[in-house]
Structure 1
Amino acid sequence: MFKVVICDDERIIREGLKQIIPWGDYHFNTIYTAKDGVEALSLIQQHQPELVITDIRMPRKNGVDLLNDIAHLDCNVIILSSYDDFEYMKAGIQHHVLDYLLKPVDHAQLKLF
């Protein structure tokens, strides 16, 4: 069974992803949520998830900084953002993210492994 960390400063997005996606169908049994990159980094270091879904623009630590901090870890990352800014997409490519999805997103768009 797998673990996932969902990181977004919008509570409705965090809780929506946690509740709407049939995580068990993808063999995820533990879902952690974080409201910013600082919380996410702590959860990632502590629990070593197989998947991180993160927003790009957040307070305290943004998604690009989070990507830099976890680059050495063996986890897959999906970026979920309201911004189609090329620099953010470029950072995602450089960090080999699985996908860069624009909000709003439905679970059919998420390709989990």
Structure 2
Amino acid sequence: MKVLMVDDEELTREGLRMSIPWESLGISQIFMAEDGEEGLRMALELKPDIILADVRMPRMDGITMAFEIRKTLRQCRFIFISGYCDKEYLKSAIQLSAVNYIEKPIEPSEVVDALKKSILQLEEEKRRQAMEEEYRAHFCGVLEEIPEEDLVPVSWQSSMHMADKIEHYIQDNFQDINLSLTQLADHFDLTKQYMCWLFKKEKNETINQCIIRTRLKWAKEYMRRNPFVKIKNVAAKAGFADSSYFIKIYKKYEQMTPADYLRECNENSQERE
């Protein structure tokens, strides 16, 4: 990973170079520029991952430099340093999605925290790009059958976090008999195709399998605690619209019927008494 430091004060540049544990952060190359114009030229040539820049510099200020760099290096992360608390600069930093805005005198720990945050964002972006390429390749053979707007989601999000969110939503709403792929896709603003592919990739099971597994787990525990309950009531409480379907699915996954399990629970309860 490459970092470019742009600051007109040599003491600041050298101080940061000496005080930051670059290698332990995974940063192998550090470059320095004395002002915004030199920083712009070096950035376009070297394509750094992170730019640590002073805001106020001769010839070209850090914000102007960053806007020019952003035109070409879309994924580059910016960390701004300034000796002035200037609201206009802060507004510009927000527009550039700056990772942090650090005021002088500089605390090395603040810089380290900002660098760590930048690295996490960059790693997530690389993962997102890899996911997009894999997703496109996965559906390469059926591109003619899938509209372009449905092929790639409008916004790519962390796949692991999104899969976790989907799973948690299922755990919280499994008793809803209307829970479906369409409902989930609408709730998370994802295409069904992408959502199903992402979930299977991250969780090694389909969304429907997760819904069934969650419902059956709850049903089994509910019957264990209530051995005299009616099966149709268990099915309804577990989110199954049809008790016959519940019996069929339960037998498929548990290798016994709900009635057999209730009988077993009754026998165990009598033995304990």
Please indicate the TM-score interval, normalised by the length of the shorter structure. Answer: over 0.9
1:10 deviates by 0.6
Cα distance in 2 for residues equivalent to 1:49 and 1:18 = 16
Within-5 A mapping of 1:1-113:
2-72=1-71, 73=73, 74-110=75-111, 111=113, 112=115, 113=118
Cα distance in 2 for residues equivalent to 1:31 and 1:99 = 19
* Larger RCO (alpha carbons 8 Å, 6+ apart): 1
Cα distance in 1 for residues equivalent to 2:70 and 2:44 = 12
Cα distance in 1 for residues equivalent to 2:79 and 2:61 = 14
Which stretches of structure 1, 4 residues or longer, exceed 3 Å deviation after superposition?
Answer: none
Cα distance in 2 for residues equivalent to 1:49 and 1:67 = 12
1:16 deviates by 0.7
1:42 deviates by 1.1
Cα distance in 2 for residues equivalent to 1:26 and 1:49 = 15
One-letter identity of the residue aligned with 1:17: L
Cα distance in 1 for residues equivalent to 2:70 and 2:48 = 13
Cα distance in 2 for residues equivalent to 1:81 and 1:61 = 14
1:53-90 Cα deviation digits (max 9, x unpaired): 00011001101111110123121000011011100000
Identity of aligned residues (%): 37
TM value normalised by structure 2: 0.40
One-letter identity of the residue aligned with 1:18: R
Q: Which has the higher helix share?
A: 2
1:107 deviates by 1.6
Could you tell me which runs of 5 or more consecutive residues in structure 2 were left unpaired when the two chains were aligned.
119-273
SS at match of 1:109: helix
The aligned length equals 112
Q: Which has the higher strand share?
A: 1
TM value normalised by structure 1: 0.95
One-letter identity of the residue aligned with 1:75: C
Cα distance in 2 for residues equivalent to 1:15 and 1:84 = 23
Which structure has the greater CA radius of gyration? 2
1:36 deviates by 0.1
One-letter identity of the residue aligned with 2:45: Q
